[in-house]
């Protein structure tokens, strides 16, 4: 008799014993789901069918099943292993006996339930969700329909007109500021940006700034600012600022 | 020959009994006396007395519909003599198809509930996840809060459990102390195997 070829028919597994071992070792079958007693009984029943006792098969089976049991026990009580190991042998045996007795009682209770279910199997009744009306603990005070109409009338007014003014923003052409700055620089070698456009609306200031950047890109002007948020000074190209010391490379990079 | 199916004429509870009959025929779950009394707008003691009248009218052997006290309330069911006909018309309810693992899990929840899946696994020695999920799906057990220490979900049996098993309440289960004292099943099976070997 070859132990590994033992055919098993358990809740969690059906097939030869060696496949079961392979699955367990590969962690593809949860040992906790496995009924080890079922394997033992299957083996014993197979053994009983034989004429003579196969000692070799028994030995092999014992070794394998003991290993399985140990693995299962470790898996079931990972935290309690230490707790039980600390117990005296007698106390541990007592604890084990207590657990076995508890399980035995539940197994009997399950048998009682099964028997009861069979006896009550011919009871037919209507099943469905209990559609009981919810009991209203605080009923509403009597309501006046006219009051409801008033509230609805309040809600039924025309919504306020949405303003579309921001859609009509007009952006002046960049060209206008290009020409304006060029004209200023024809009269003066340098000027202060804020002084020139500070009184214009913000939108126009932004367009003016774009024009300034454009002038710098084409090399017509140089721009200078001592610190962030300090006045921006614009000079005609070639007309270097008198106080070069104020300028730093880092500053130029930032402003560009 | 049984008397005709009608309540005793002139009984002061006659009207109330008819109202209860109507409530019970509409309900799909057992109705406790308190609930019947509130719905009928009557005194619970009078309701109990009237239920006696209704139960007498709807009893096994007299009516195809039987009134029974089950799952903490009162409900109609089919009489047992109509069971075969019912079985031909209706499918076997899934609550009646339970594996051995499910039955053990159900027993543990019925006796020790509310209890969590780790509690169940501790007693049965195998993981209870699939058994618990199956019982929840069948409506026999339901969640009942969480374990204060470990935070695991705890389960208890439902009124449907009592109804399927024909229990008035969980107190009808046999006492735990009376169980587990008899011979061990596995030992019996082992002995049977040994006997077959020697035979």
Each domain of chain A, given as residue ranges in start order, spans: 3-76, 81-117, 171-255
Does a structural domain hold residue B7?
Answer: no
The strand pairing partners of B143, in sequence order, are B155
Higher pLDDT, A142 or A199: A199
Whether the per-residue pLDDT at B86 is higher than 60: the answer is yes
On whether both B190 and B140 belong to a single domain, the answer is yes
Interface confidence, given as ipTM, is 0.74
Higher pLDDT, A72 or B184: A72
Q: Domain holding B185: CATH number?
A: 1.10.10.10
Whether the per-residue pLDDT at B100 is higher than 80: the answer is yes
On whether both B38 and B132 belong to a single domain, the answer is no
| pLDDT tens-digit map of B140-162 | 999 988 887 778 899 999 988 99
Which of residues B60, B88, B116 is at a domain's end? Answer: B88
Q: Give the residue from B160, B70, B77, B27 showing the smallest Cα distance to A133.
A: B27
The answer to whether the beta carbons of residues B135 and B102 sit under 8 Å apart is: yes
Chain B contacts of A99, Cβ < 8 Å? 122-123
On whether both B98 and B175 belong to a single domain, the answer is yes
Q: Which two tokens stand for residue A134?
A: 């919810």
Q: Looking at the 3D structure of chain B, how many domains does it have?
A: 2
Q: Which of A15-29, A60-74, B48-62 has the highest mean pLDDT?
A: B48-62
Does a structural domain hold residue B3?
Answer: no
Which position has the token pair 């009124």?
A: B159
Chain B contacts of A112, Cβ < 8 Å? 107, 173-174, 179
Whether the per-residue pLDDT at B39 is higher than 50: the answer is yes
Query: Rounded to whole angstroms, how far apart are CA atoms A83 and A100?
Result: 18
On whether both B83 and B111 belong to a single domain, the answer is no
The strand pairing partners of A191, in sequence order, are A234
Tell me if A120 and B29 make a contact (CB, 8 A cut-off): no
Here the contacts of A75-81 (C-beta below 8 Å, separation 24 or greater) are A75/A31, A75/A32, A76/A32, A76/B121, A76/B125
Which of residues B55, B88, B121 is at a domain's end? Answer: B88
On whether both B59 and B107 belong to a single domain, the answer is no
Nearest to B174 among A103, A112, A132 (CB): A112
Domain A171-255: CATH superfamily, name plus number: Structural maintenance of chromosome 1. Chain E (1.10.10.580)
Expressed as residue numbers, the domain containing B22 is 14-88
pTM: 0.50
On whether both B140 and B184 belong to a single domain, the answer is yes
- Angle between helices B33-40 and B14-26 in degrees, nearest 10: 110
Look up residue B31 and give its DSSP letter.
Answer: B
């Amino acid at each position: 008799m070859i132990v590994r070829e033992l055919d098993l028919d358990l809740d969690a597994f059906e097939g030869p014993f060696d496949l079961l071992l392979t699955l367990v070792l590969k962690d593809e079958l949860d040992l906790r789901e496995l009924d080890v007693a079922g394997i033992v009984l299957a083996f014993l029943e197979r053994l009983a069918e034989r004429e003579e006792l196969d000692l070799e098969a028994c030995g092999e089976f014992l070794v394998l099943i003991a290993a399985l049991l140990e693995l299962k026990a470790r898996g079931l009580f990972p935290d309690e292993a230490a707790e039980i190991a600390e117990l005296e042998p007698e106390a541990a045996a007592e604890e084990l006996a207590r657990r076995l007795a508890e399980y035995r009682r539940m197994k009997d209770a399950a048998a009682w339930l099964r028997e009861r279910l069979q006896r009550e199997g011919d009871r037919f009744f209507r099943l469905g969700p209990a559609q009981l009306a919810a009991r209203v603990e605080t009923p509403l005070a009597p309501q006046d329909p006219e009051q409801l109409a008033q509230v609805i009338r309040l809600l039924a007014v025309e919504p306020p007109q949405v303003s579309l003014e921001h859609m009509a923003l007009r952006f002046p052409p960049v060209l206008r500021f290009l020409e304006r700055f060029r004209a200023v620089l024809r009269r003066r070698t340098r000027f202060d940006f804020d002084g020139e456009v500070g009184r214009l609306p913000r939108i126009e200031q932004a367009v003016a700034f774009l024009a300034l950047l454009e002038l710098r890109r084409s090399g017509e002007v140089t721009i200078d600012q001592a610190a962030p948020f300090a006045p921006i000074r614009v000079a005609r190209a070639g007309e270097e600022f008198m106080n070069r010391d104020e300028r730093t490379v880092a500053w130029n990079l930032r402003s560009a | 020959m049984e008397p005709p199916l009608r309540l005793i004429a002139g009984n002061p509870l006659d009207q109330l009994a008819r109202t209860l009959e109507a409530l019970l025929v509409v309900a799909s779950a057992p109705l406790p006396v308190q609930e019947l009394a509130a719905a009928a707008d009557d005194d619970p003691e009078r309701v109990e007395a009237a239920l006696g009248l209704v139960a007498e009218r709807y009893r096994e052997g007299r009516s195809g519909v039987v009134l029974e006290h089950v799952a903490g309330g009162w409900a109609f069911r089919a009489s047992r003599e109509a069971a075969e006909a019912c079985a031909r018309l209706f499918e076997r309810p899934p609550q009646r198809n339970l594996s051995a693992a499910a039955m053990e899990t159900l027993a543990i929840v019925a006796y020790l509930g509310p209890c969590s899946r780790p509690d169940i696994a501790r007693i049965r020695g195998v993981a209870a996840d699939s058994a618990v999920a199956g019982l929840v799906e069948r409506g026999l057990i339901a969640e009942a809060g969480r374990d204060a220490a470990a935070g695991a979900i705890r389960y208890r049996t439902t009124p449907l459990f009592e109804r399927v098993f024909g229990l008035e309440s969980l107190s009808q289960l046999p006492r735990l102390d009376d169980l587990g004292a008899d011979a061990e099943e596995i030992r019996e099976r082992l002995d049977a195997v040994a006997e077959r070997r020697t035979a």
